[in-house]
Amino acid sequence: MRAPQPGITGTSRPSHPEEFTVPRRYLAPAATALLLLAACGDNPTGPGGSFTTDDGEVEDNPTVPVEESAYLVDPEGSTAGRVTFTDAETGMEVVVEAYGLPAGEHPLSLHETADCDAPATPEDPTGVGDWTGVGAALPGVELPQLIVGEDGAGEISSVVANVDLEALLEEDGTALLVHAVGADWEDTEALACAPVGG
């Protein structure tokens, strides 16, 4: 055994590094804590993370696209499909899924009020007829025709330019009408209506 060096008192430092060990019971909690901290920093949507825009700015609450949907109903009140409106970069995306309609090309129109209650009149006591509550058609809005197959089903997806969906929903909403087969919606009766927002 080597003699202690002069001037050094107490216990000398062991010469073998393996003699300095951390009890294993402390290793697992420490490793878990480190992994959790690393995950929080790397995951932009996790706790402690953030969203970064293209110009490098940090955005705490990213904008979630506005989306609204409603069922299409026929004059008797039966479901005839579904309509979904979603914010798009250049306007509003309109998705129409319809069924139970006559085959052919159906004009579509968007109107100023989300009111698809078909009013009863002396001439039409059951309420079957025009949806007068939808108001006037939105100016400058053009939608493609809905092509319905022999099975009575049809679907379209189209972006309506320069329409702010959020502003539209804050007011009286809007209504989408599916018209009978024809070249122009103004010359054909409505077969189905979807009240969106309002």
Shared domain check, 40 and 106: no
Shared domain check, 117 and 33: no
Question: What is the SS3 assignment for 177?
Answer: strand
pLDDT band per the 50, 70, 90 thresholds, residue 183: confident
Count of structural domains within the chain: 2
Shared domain check, 146 and 90: yes
Write down the pLDDT at residue 124: 62
Write down the pLDDT at residue 39: 52
Structure tokens that stand for 145 in this block: 């025709």
Residue positions counted in the chain: 198
Shared domain check, 173 and 191: yes
pLDDT in tens, 59-91: 555 555 689 999 999 988 899 999 999 999 889
pLDDT in tens, 102-157: 999 999 999 989 999 866 666 665 555 678 888 888 888 889 999 999 999 999 99
Mean per-residue pLDDT of the chain: 76
Looking at the domain assignment, is residue 132 inside a domain?
A: yes
Shared domain check, 27 and 101: no
CATH number at 133 reads 2.60.40.200
How far apart are alpha carbons 191 and 142 in whole angstroms? 18
**Which residue do the tokens 């202690």 mark?**
4
Looking at the domain assignment, is residue 5 inside a domain?
A: no
pTM reported for the whole predicted model:
0.64
**How wide is the angle at C-alpha 61 spanned by C-alphas 60 and 67, nearest 5°?**
165
Looking at the domain assignment, is residue 8 inside a domain?
A: no
Shared domain check, 98 and 179: yes
DSSP 8-state assignment for residue 95: E
Shared domain check, 71 and 51: no
* 61 CB-near residues (< 8 Å, 6+ apart): none
Range of the domain at 189: 67-196
- Edge-to-edge strand list for the sheet holding 146-148: 104-106, 146-148, 154-161, 91-98, 79-88, 67-73, 190-196, 174-179, 108-111
